[in-house]
Amino acid sequence: MTSDIKNISIVFLISIITIYICYLIESSSLFEYLNNNLLTILLAFLAINTASLGHLAAKIQDIMVIHNHLNFSATIFEMKKSLVEQIILIVLAIIIIIIRESNLNFLLKFEILNIFSLAIFLYGINILWDTGKSVFVIIDEIKKINR
C-alpha cells in the first residue's frame, strides 16, 4: 500500500513538473496527444498486460504442478490488482474526457485535467513495467528451483 502511494505521488510530481515545463515553453503537443489518444493507449496497455499476465499465470501453474510446496498467492494477488488498477485508470480517463468536454468550469480546469491525464498515462506505464519485472522474478525463481 505504501509503495502504491509512493508511486502515485511520484507520478503526480512528474506530471506537474512536465505540464509546468510545457506551459513555460508554450508546447501543447503532449496535451493534444493525450486528449486524443489516452483512452486508446490505456486499452492497449490493458490488452498487453492481460496477455502477459495470462502467460505468467500459465507458467506459475506449470511450476506449481512440479513444485506444489511453492506459494504464489501474493504474486497472483498482485496480478489481479494490476488489472483492477488498469480498469480504474480507464474509468478515470473517461471521467476526464467528460469533464474536459463539459460546460463545467473551474479555476485551472485544463491545467488540472492535463496533469491528471499525464499522471494516468504514466501510472499505466508503471503497471506495465511491474508486469515486465514480474517476468524476470519468475525466471529467477525457476533458476533457483533448478539448482
At 10, which helix (H) or strand (E)? helix 2-24
User: How many angstroms separate the CA atoms of 12 and 119, rounded?
Assistant: 5
Cell of 23: 506551459
Q: Is the pLDDT of residue 83 over 80?
A: yes
Number of residues that make up the chain: 147
Residue-wise pLDDT for 88-119, tens only, equals 999 999 999 999 999 999 999 999 999 999 99
Residue-wise pLDDT for 33-49, tens only, equals 999 999 999 999 999 99
Average pLDDT over residues 66-92: 88
Integer-rounded Cα radius of gyration of the chain: 19
List the one residue out of 81, 88, 98, 79 whose CA is nearest residue 119: 88
Please give the C-alpha separations between residue 55 and each of 58, 67, 75, 100, in angstroms, as whole numbers.
5, 18, 13, 37
pLDDT at 103: 93
Q: Say whether pTM exceeds 0.85.
A: yes
| Residue 49 CB neighbour total at 10 angstroms | 21
User: How many angstroms separate the CA atoms of 28 and 35, rounded?
Assistant: 11
Could you tell me which residue, 131 or 15, shows the higher pLDDT?
Answer: 15
Ranking 45-54, 84-93, 111-120, 126-135 by mean pLDDT, the lowest is 126-135
